[in-house]
Structure 1
Amino acid sequence: MPAANVWRKVNVIGHVNPDTDSICSAIAYAYLKNQASEMACEPRRAGQLNRETEFVLKHFDVEPPRLCTDVSPQIKDIDIRRQPGIDRELSVKAAWSMMRDTEIDTLCVTDAEDELLGLITVKDIANANMDLMDTGVLADAHTSYRNVLATLDGEMVVGDPDAEVGGNIYIGGSPDVMEEQLKPGDLVLVSNRYDTQLCAIECDAGCIVICNGKAAPRTIETLAREKGCSIIITPYDIYAAARLVSQSAPVRHFMRVKDLLKFSVDTPIEDARRVMASVRHRYFPILDKNGKYCGVVSRRNLLNLHRKQIILVDHNEKTQAVDGLAQAEILEIIDHHRIGTLETTAPVYFRNVPVGCTATIVFQMYLENEVDIPKKIAGLLLSAILSDTLMFRSPTSTPQDEQAANALARIAGEDIQSYAEQMFEAGGDLTGKTAEEVFVSDFKVFSRGDVKFGVGQSSYMTEKSRSAAEALVGPYLPEAAGHHALPMVFYMFTDVQKQSTDLMFTGHDAEKIVRAAFHVEPENGKAVLPGVVSRKKQLIPPLMAAMQELTM
């Protein structure tokens, strides 16, 4: 069973609908933190990879980060009680003793592979003990004599401990009465009276339990062997033995197996709370990622919550972040965009630098921490810079970006011009792509006051590729606006070589805003913007200024 305390990893994650910078910076920064700090960091992605990023990861033989779309707390983020599972053959008495000793009222029944078979509660045991008239419980439950021995602290002097009890429980008394009532195979509790023991054996009892620790006479032992009757000696008197013996039945006879309320380690805490509030159970089984039993959880455990620890890269706006961020603990933010709407509950390390790419900042941090950059990591950082700066053509590109790219290209062994053309060409390939897949490949949501709007961007090396993308995605924009519940959506189709953008849009007042922002006359839902290639620096600020002006 897993250890109680596991070193929790910090998720390094970019924005939803991740671009190459978002993915590559997450991978590179997680590697840096693992080398330069005591943190255990893991890169994650908040959405599907676009084709450009797929090309980059394949080119440098790097596995894509695992998907993470929600960082809300889950069962695995609380202290699960690592209560061991019990064997289905364990006696009811042993189960109750375990409950008493460990101060728990629910035990989970598992097999040797930790598969959950059922559970038994103290209420189930109480109900079993209260059914005093069920004298056939041991036979019905196919109880082994080994359980009877353990329950009665007994010693078997005749018989096979692994054999099963075959009849009812009977308290031996007058031989006359026994001859009338005793049935073959019954388990008979007797005193040290010779005539009672003899009568029970001659009436074909399956087992006699001699109470008060008295030894059986040799003649009784001999006769018992001849008749196939087992003999058990217990130190308890008949009253105590009678009360205890039915507790020899295995827990499988009483355990609950249908409609078990159980949770996975990945179950959201809020879902677990709703279920727990609807029932009166106290403890609930937990299954690990492989569906194996790993412990139990109670309402009290939900109070001791360990929020997921997050490092954000390439974004600092709530609208661009994974779901559940408000319930996570943000440790750091590494970004190169405007400071947005994100709030934190405590001070964090926030590094925001006006460069063209987050990867440039990460490269600088490698140098500051004197950590060697592996060839693969250098290739990822180089790719991110070339992508975000459009190979230094974007107005957001700075000398720092170009210097970093040149240094990284030497480490990665890549020619910038040749590699960039391959990367952009791969990103512009629309073969087999749907309009939605192209649309979400690099799409972000922004807000200005009470107004929310979305802006997407795709970059292409040729006029032919850009025109094909416009024909595919343009008609989809109204549907995309509805799907994302946005009043306006703008989409940039950027020609890297010509450094020009065709801006397509949809929504009420969208055309009026474009006209005011760029002083152009749109036609058929499209505006041609020569020299505009940067969403961050050349598109978002004019759009927001126009929105503010038109709403005043």
Structure 2
Amino acid sequence: MPEAIRKVNVIGHLHPDTDSICSAIAYAYLKNQISDIEYEPRRAGAINRETAFALKTFGFEEPELITSVAPQIKDTQISKQRSIEADTSLFSAWNLMRDLKTSTLCITDEKNDLLGLIAVKDIASANMDIFDTAMLSTAKTLFSNVLETLKGTMVLGDPADRICQGNIRIGTTPEMMEGNIEKGDIVLVTNRYETQRYAVEAGASCLVVCNGASVSDVVIEAAKANGCTVLTTPYDTYSAARLIPMATPVSAEMLPEDKVLRFSVNTSVDDALKVMANSQHRFFPVMDEDGRYVGVVSSPNMINVNKKHVILVDHNERSQAVSGLERAEIMEIIDHHRIGTIETSSPAYFRNEPVGCTNTILFSIFQEKGVEIPQNIAGLMLSAILSDTLAFRSPTCTERDRYAGRELAKIAGVDIDEYADAMFDAGADLTGRTAEEVFNSDFKVFSRGHARFGVGQGSFMTESSRKAAEALVGPYLKEAAAANDIPMVFYMFTDVKSQTTEMLYWGANTDQIVARTFGVTPVDGIATLPGVVSRKKQVIPPLMTTLQDMDEEDE
């Protein structure tokens, strides 16, 4: 496999049903047993109560939600640029920028939380502000910063102490300093004893002796008595005066984090490019899922992105797939529906078989690969087969489905009839549910020619639960059509035990379409369809035929 494959998402269709979720979990498990690549199950929407029952029964958490497989920042080449601490001097930051050939550095704390951002222009602006002589004390600058910037030596004092008061002054002669040196000032002097002594006795908090000059014991003793820090620098007074403001910590000049444009590793590349196009910044910090700094990106990083790798289970229609699929690498499709509209950019393994459930196909793949099915995985696979075949009552059910179901039940250690009744009852429970939630429990969008329509289905063990669902969902069909941007909606309320479906519908000419397709006369917007329980085999094909015929008649 190519090295670019970081992991593979195994995804079912939108509005996932039990087969979709259980297929993703079971197939990801199988692939992880036979491959060195990481496979992770994902869900493309909220799970329904039937599926939740199956997951809980066999000890699984619901898979993580995925709404798009378009490239994200984490699929780009994030520059692992080191961050700096808030106390780092402007001088050190500038040198680091030069070494890294960058114009921006990120400032973080010890936990890697973002504190701010500093750019070359911020350092240049600070360096040009020659009239701000209090910058070191205002920023509570560490003496260690001054030592580093001036290549200095500490004669008296603690490098870990901070400059908390005073302005930067140049000490020339005692006469010139009189009236100009105030208590707490940082005074730059040369080798003249009188100048050094006067600055100390005038109350300077720090004496910077330039030109590498020595400091007499008398001056040192006076500095101790007056609480004055003393350091020396090899630079001359002019150079030291220019450099010392650059000892200011970056925290004093940085753009604070609440004003910094940054991206999460989960931000889509498209969204990031839009932000970059409207920003004057070149580099942007990147945060991981916990909000911690991991590096920076710029627009060149977006040129070559690593596509996400996906396996699709239980669908092969673009209208039923997560967004961004055209920008992902489809590795496999495992399905039992009609051949749909998904195209791939490169060859992919495509396994489509006329059985009642995707998990029946997976059962065969487990056997082919010689992988033992664990008890909990077997329980999920059985749940999917019972759901899709209506406990072997659906006309889509094959002998392979029945065989796989019986074998999986043995492994899972459950009674098929008892478990099926409990699972369907859980799915039919309407307590606290909205019409939208029930509608989306199992709903798919289809297209044929110019026609686009949606078909949903709910399965019920009792007439009372079915009627309650009809009363709840029926009024919502118009709103559901608008939400899915389709002109027609059909919803199947299927009685599992009597194998009868009552169909509700909404949209222009849907009354006529239902009557023509199924040869029945709807009553009060409900079409009763005896023996019709399979959306895939008994509803979608005849509906598409009718819509195509009507389209040709209109032409």
Same fold? TM cut 0.5: yes
In the aligned structure 2, how far is the partner of 1:355 from the partner of 1:14?
17
Structure 1 residues 235 and 403: CA distance shift in structure 2, 3 A: same
**Letter matched to residue 93 of structure 1:** F
- 2:290 is paired with a residue whose SS is coil
In the aligned structure 2, how far is the partner of 1:7 from the partner of 1:215?
64
Match of 1:212 in 2: 211
In the aligned structure 2, how far is the partner of 1:470 from the partner of 1:217?
98
Q: Is the 8 A contact 2:285 2:295 kept in 1?
A: yes
Match of 2:154 in 1: 156
In the aligned structure 2, how far is the partner of 1:7 from the partner of 1:170?
61
In the aligned structure 2, how far is the partner of 1:227 from the partner of 1:474?
88
For residues 370-381 of structure 1, the aligned pairs below 5 Å read 370-381=370-381
Match of 2:395 in 1: 395
In the aligned structure 1, how far is the partner of 2:337 from the partner of 2:123?
62
Structure 1 residues 488 and 7: CA distance shift in structure 2, 3 A: closer
Which stretch of the first structure deviates more once superposed, 87-96 or 290-299?
290-299
Match of 1:510 in 2: 510
Match of 2:418 in 1: 418
Match of 2:291 in 1: 291
In the aligned structure 1, how far is the partner of 2:228 from the partner of 2:469?
88
**Letter matched to residue 238 of structure 1:** T
- 2:255 is paired with a residue whose SS is coil
- 1:423 is paired with a residue whose SS is helix
In the aligned structure 2, how far is the partner of 1:157 from the partner of 1:510?
93
Q: 1:228, CA displacement in angstroms? A: 2.7
Match of 1:342 in 2: 342
Matched, 1:430 2:430: yes
TM score, norm. by length of structure 1: 0.96
In the aligned structure 2, how far is the partner of 1:164 from the partner of 1:60?
61
Match of 2:404 in 1: 404
Match of 1:97 in 2: 95
Q: 1:362, CA displacement in angstroms? A: 0.8
**Letter matched to residue 91 of structure 2:** K
Q: 1:404, CA displacement in angstroms? A: 0.9
Q: 1:245, CA displacement in angstroms? A: 0.8
Match of 1:50 in 2: 48
Q: 1:507, CA displacement in angstroms? A: 0.9
Q: 1:508, CA displacement in angstroms? A: 0.8
In the aligned structure 1, how far is the partner of 2:101 from the partner of 2:175?
47
Match of 2:116 in 1: 118
Which stretch of the first structure deviates more once superposed, 279-288 or 262-271?
262-271
- 1:204 is paired with a residue whose SS is coil
CA deviation profile, 1:124-148 (whole Å, cap 9, x unmatched):
0011111122222212222222211
**Letter matched to residue 347 of structure 1:** P
Identity of aligned residues (%): 58
CA deviation profile, 1:25-70 (whole Å, cap 9, x unmatched):
1000000011011220111111111111111111111111111122
**Letter matched to residue 459 of structure 2:** S
Which stretch of the first structure deviates more once superposed, 178-187 or 294-303?
178-187
For residues 112-151 of structure 1, the aligned pairs below 5 Å read 112-151=110-149
TM score, norm. by length of structure 2: 0.95
**Letter matched to residue 421 of structure 2:** E
Query: How many correspondences in the alignment?
Result: 548
- 1:73 is paired with a residue whose SS is coil
Q: 1:20, CA displacement in angstroms? A: 0.6
Please report the RMSD computed on the Cα atoms of aligned residues, expressed in angstroms: 1.7
- 1:181 is paired with a residue whose SS is coil
In the aligned structure 1, how far is the partner of 2:374 from the partner of 2:98?
57
Which stretch of the first structure deviates more once superposed, 206-215 or 338-347?
206-215
Q: Is the 8 A contact 2:142 2:159 kept in 1?
A: yes
**Letter matched to residue 470 of structure 1:** E
Q: Is the 8 A contact 2:4 2:306 kept in 1?
A: no
Q: Is the 8 A contact 2:5 2:37 kept in 1?
A: no
In the aligned structure 1, how far is the partner of 2:5 from the partner of 2:205?
56
Matched, 1:358 2:353: no
In the aligned structure 1, how far is the partner of 2:242 from the partner of 2:496?
87
In the aligned structure 2, how far is the partner of 1:457 from the partner of 1:199?
93
**Letter matched to residue 102 of structure 2:** I
**Letter matched to residue 144 of structure 2:** R
- 1:441 is paired with a residue whose SS is helix
In the aligned structure 1, how far is the partner of 2:428 from the partner of 2:178?
95
Q: Is the 8 A contact 2:83 2:106 kept in 1?
A: yes
Match of 1:203 in 2: 202
Match of 1:319 in 2: 319
For residues 217-228 of structure 1, the aligned pairs below 5 Å read 217-228=216-227
Match of 1:471 in 2: 471
Gap runs ≥5 in structure 1: none
- 2:155 is paired with a residue whose SS is strand
Q: Is the 8 A contact 2:5 2:309 kept in 1?
A: no
**Letter matched to residue 481 of structure 2:** A
Q: 1:6, CA displacement in angstroms? A: 11
In the aligned structure 2, how far is the partner of 1:158 from the partner of 1:481?
80
**Letter matched to residue 193 of structure 2:** Y
Match of 2:278 in 1: 278
Q: 1:163, CA displacement in angstroms? A: 3.1
Gap runs ≥5 in structure 2: none
Q: 1:352, CA displacement in angstroms? A: 0.7
In the aligned structure 1, how far is the partner of 2:480 from the partner of 2:281?
45
In the aligned structure 1, how far is the partner of 2:434 from the partner of 2:221?
87
CA deviation profile, 1:282-319 (whole Å, cap 9, x unmatched):
11122222222222221121223122221110000011
For residues 255-274 of structure 1, the aligned pairs below 5 Å read 255-257=254-256, 258-274=258-274
In the aligned structure 2, how far is the partner of 1:222 from the partner of 1:186?
19
Match of 1:308 in 2: 308
In the aligned structure 2, how far is the partner of 1:20 from the partner of 1:227?
80
Q: 1:427, CA displacement in angstroms? A: 1.6
Matched, 1:539 2:539: yes
In the aligned structure 2, how far is the partner of 1:432 from the partner of 1:228?
73
In the aligned structure 2, how far is the partner of 1:224 from the partner of 1:432?
78
**Letter matched to residue 6 of structure 2:** R
- 2:414 is paired with a residue whose SS is coil
In the aligned structure 2, how far is the partner of 1:229 from the partner of 1:431?
77
Could you tell me which of 33, 36, 45 is aligned with 1:38? 36
CA deviation profile, 1:513-545 (whole Å, cap 9, x unmatched):
222212222222221111111111111111111
CA deviation profile, 1:251-282 (whole Å, cap 9, x unmatched):
11111115221222222222211111111101
- 1:29 is paired with a residue whose SS is helix
Could you tell me which of 56, 59, 65 is aligned with 2:57? 59
Matched, 1:176 2:165: no
In the aligned structure 1, how far is the partner of 2:142 from the partner of 2:540?
77
Which stretch of the first structure deviates more once superposed, 258-267 or 498-507?
258-267
Match of 1:251 in 2: 250
Match of 1:492 in 2: 492
Match of 2:530 in 1: 530
